Structure 1
Amino acid sequence: MAMPEKAQIIQVPNTLRAKVGGRLGALDAQAVAKAEAALADLSNHFEDWLMDEIRKLEEVQARIKEEGLNMVNSDQLFYRAHDLKGLGTTYGFPLITRVAGSLCKMLDEEEKRMIAPWKLVEAHLDAIRAIVRGQIKTVDHPTGLMLSETLEARVKEHLEAAGLYT
């Protein structure tokens, strides 16, 4: 089948530079130093903030033990795990990010939350506490790495068996 017309190439002008205002200037070394000093000052509080997040997770855990797993508690469990997933590395504990990420994978949909094996959920929470207690701050720590890989494998097995692994 023959093409009825020739293709026409249209060159669209790039107006982004005019909108942005040209090139960025050099970074102000003094401003960068000030920002780094502020971050260093804040980093003194990271472990306290991390412990606050873990306490919130433990409160949800206690509520679930008392009331049972319901939609409200399972949602809170997911949101607390999701917060730790985002904050773990920032607070200097990258394996917390990994373990909390594994927990989130198991809880990221309503259907998954309601069939999550409680012992596997608790194993994730215990692992998070162990990482903090052991001050495991590297991703290649042998025990921490084995623990996170094992939890991820168990989550995968559970979700595959339920037909929910993606």
Structure 2
Amino acid sequence: MTQRERPIEIINPPNMLKVKVGGRIAPADPAAIARAEAALAEMKHEFADWLAEEVNKLEAALARVQANGLTSEAGDELFTVAHDLRGLGATYEFPLVTRMAASLSRLVETGEKRELVPVQLVEAHVGAIRAALRQNIRTDEHAVGRTLAEELETRVIELVGAPA
């Protein structure tokens, strides 16, 4: 019997993941979701304070960059804080901060990029983030916030290229 004449046999391996997690996943409990949303609503008034703490960390990282340079470990720290802030801005209801922190993250994400970056552009990003928080500019629907974010992004693209 040649290879072509053999009947085709399909082998379906057992789904071991179902066994490991204990079968089907139960549907989400609407009451649990409601409790979580209520708890989140109670914490909303603290969002600005928490975001301010993160911006303080960003400013401290900038001070170390100003003292030691972007290519030092301070540049790595600045990237880490900016990256964290990028994720937290929208969570804390400041998507404009997320946008600006994303631009800053792209600017300083690698050592090669940091060698090209003028510290003044980093300072502009940090200042814009602080101003957005101080002035309670949450979204890019605010004309000044949008213009500032666009200008920062344009400068980053000119220096390190467009995002991939």
| TM-score, normalised by the number of residues in structure 1 | 0.81
Structure-1 residue corresponding to 2:113: 112
Q: What is the Cα deviation at residue 60 of structure 1? A: 1.7
SS in 2 for 1:45: helix
For residue 12 of structure 1, what is the amino acid of its counterpart? N
Cα gap change, 1:17 to 1:128, in 2 (>3 Å): same
Equivalent residues of 1:99, 1:124 under 8 A apart: yes
Structure-1 residue corresponding to 2:67: 66
Partners of 2:87 and 2:53 lie apart in 1 by 14
Partners of 1:52 and 1:13 lie apart in 2 by 51
Equivalent residues of 2:65, 2:72 under 8 A apart: no
Structure-1 residue corresponding to 2:160: 159
Q: Could you report, residue by residue, the CA deviation over 1:125-154 in whole angstroms, capped at 9, with x for unpaired residues? A: 111012112212224322212211211111
Cα gap change, 1:11 to 1:45, in 2 (>3 Å): same
Structure-1 residue corresponding to 2:79: 78
Higher helix proportion, which one? 2
Partners of 2:33 and 2:64 lie apart in 1 by 45
Q: What is the Cα deviation at residue 8 of structure 1? A: 5.0
Greater shift, 86-95 or 4-13, is seen at 4-13
Equivalent residues of 1:94, 1:137 under 8 A apart: yes
Structure-1 residue corresponding to 2:137: 136
SS in 2 for 1:140: coil
Q: Could you report, residue by residue, the CA deviation over 1:85-114 in whole angstroms, capped at 9, with x for unpaired residues? A: 010000110011111111111111111122
| TM-score, normalised by the number of residues in structure 2 | 0.82
For residue 10 of structure 2, what is the amino acid of its counterpart? I
**Percent sequence identity over aligned pairs:** 46
Identify unmatched segments of 5+ residues in structure 1: none
Superposed CA RMSD in Å reads 2.5
Structure-1 residue corresponding to 2:127: 126
SS in 1 for 2:90: coil
Structure-2 residue corresponding to 1:10: 10
For residue 146 of structure 1, what is the amino acid of its counterpart? T
Partners of 1:153 and 1:47 lie apart in 2 by 27
For residue 72 of structure 1, what is the amino acid of its counterpart? E
Identify unmatched segments of 5+ residues in structure 2: none
Cα gap change, 1:46 to 1:66, in 2 (>3 Å): same
Q: What is the Cα deviation at residue 123 of structure 1? A: 1.1
May I ask how many residue pairs the two structures share in their alignment?
160
For residue 136 of structure 2, what is the amino acid of its counterpart? Q
